[in-house]
């Protein structure tokens, strides 16, 4: 969800107003993803590196996260959406941690889509914590993937990412689900996140469906 701050600057708004606009866009995309039949949607809301931002902005974002969780919980419940938070929790404000636990419990039965919001998330840190937990033991890719998911509070079995859509014109992963994105299809969009719409999501999904995904196989093997 990249580009909230730049969107705000371009429109003469405060950065906080940009994050508010980003929240509205997120709400629309979640509802559109349910309609499109998406099984799992992960929104990258706050990376571990974002703690380096000005303190006032970080504090405002933490308040916005908590308000968003409280405001969207019933909407998720009504739409059959299970909401979980990925990433570290020990550095989050205690009130936010408590709200996370409440919302995760409230929406646990959602079966239409799993919405994951990455907060204080770093893929590199997740891999390091998973590797440290092994203490020299050998392990399969599948088992290590489950371990990576577990250290980041993922409550469902690990699965690879199919499609990454990045808004804001940047063309990099920025420490997002690096293990899970080994064979992900990538789509980079010049629009800032607040301008990203349900039609843009539909276009990205249509593009994804037309990709030739081989997973290391030869083209003739895929065709057969």
pLDDT for the residue numbered 41: 97
Please, which pLDDT band fits residue 19 given cuts at 50, 70 and 90?
A: very high
Residues annotated as part of the active site:
2, 50
218: in domain: no
Nearest-Å Rg of the Cα atoms of the chain is: 18
Q: What is the pTM of this model?
A: 0.92
Residue 112 placed within a domain = yes
Give the C-alpha separation, 131 to 125, whole Å.
Answer: 10
The pLDDT confidence band at residue 133, using thresholds 50, 70 and 90, is: confident
Distance CA 130, CA 145 (A): 9
197-222 b/e (C-beta count within 10 Å ≥ 16 → b) = eeebbeebbeebeeeeeeeeeeeeee
- For residue 219, tell me if it sits in a domain: no
Give domain status of residue 183, yes or no: yes
Can you give the CATH number for the domain in which 179 is found?
A: 3.40.1180.10
Residue 189 lies in a domain: yes
Q: How far apart are CA 74 and CA 212, in angstroms?
A: 38
The token pair that represents 211 in the structure block: 């990709």
Query: What value does the mean pLDDT take over residues 94-107?
Result: 96
In a domain, 216, yes or no: no
Distance, in Å, from the CA atom of 50 to the CA atom of 44, rounded to the nearest integer, reads 11
Per-residue confidence (pLDDT) for residue 139, from 0 to 100: 84
- Asked if the structure places residue 162 within a domain, the reply is yes
pLDDT, tens digit (0-9, with 9 covering 90-100), for 39-56:
999 999 999 999 999 999
Mean of pLDDT over the chain: 93
pLDDT of the residue at 27: 95
- Is 73 within 8 Å of 103 (Cβ atoms)? yes
What per-residue confidence (pLDDT) applies to 141?
87
How many domains is the chain partitioned into structurally? Answer: 1
- pLDDT confidence of residue 153: 77
- Residue 43's Cβ-side half-sphere holds a number of Cα atoms within 13 Å equal to 20
Average pLDDT over residues 152-173: 89
The whole domain housing 93 covers: 4-211
Assess whether pLDDT exceeds 80 at residue 156. no
Whole-angstrom Cα distance, residue 129 to residue 33? 31
């Amino acid at each position: 969800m990249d580009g909230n701050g730049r969107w705000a600057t371009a429109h003469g708004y405060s950065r906080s107003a940009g994050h508010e606009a980003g929240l509205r866009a997120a709400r629309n995309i979640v509802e559109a993803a349910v309609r499109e039949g998406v099984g799992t949607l992960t929104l990258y809301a706050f990376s571990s590196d974002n703690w380096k931002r000005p303190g006032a902005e970080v504090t405002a974002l933490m308040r916005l996260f908590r308000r968003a969780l409280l405001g969207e919980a019933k909407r998720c419940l009504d739409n059959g959406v299970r909401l979980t938070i990925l990433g570290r929790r020990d550095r989050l404000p205690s009130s936010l941690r408590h709200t996370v636990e409440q919302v995760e419990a409230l929406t646990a039965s959602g079966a239409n889509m799993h919405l994951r919001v990455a907060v204080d998330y770093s893929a590199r840190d997740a891999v390091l914590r998973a590797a440290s937990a092994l203490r020299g033991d050998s392990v399969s890719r599948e088992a290590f993937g489950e371990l990576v998911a577990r250290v980041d509070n993922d409550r469902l079995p690990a699965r690879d990412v199919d499609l990454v859509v990045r808004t804001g014109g940047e063309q990099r992963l920025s420490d997002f689900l690096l293990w899970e994105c080994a064979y992900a299809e990538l789509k980079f969009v010049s629009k800032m996140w607040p301008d990203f719409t349900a039609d843009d999501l539909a276009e990205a999904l249509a593009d994804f469906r037309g990709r030739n995904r081989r997973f290391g196989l030869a083209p003739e093997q895929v065709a057969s």
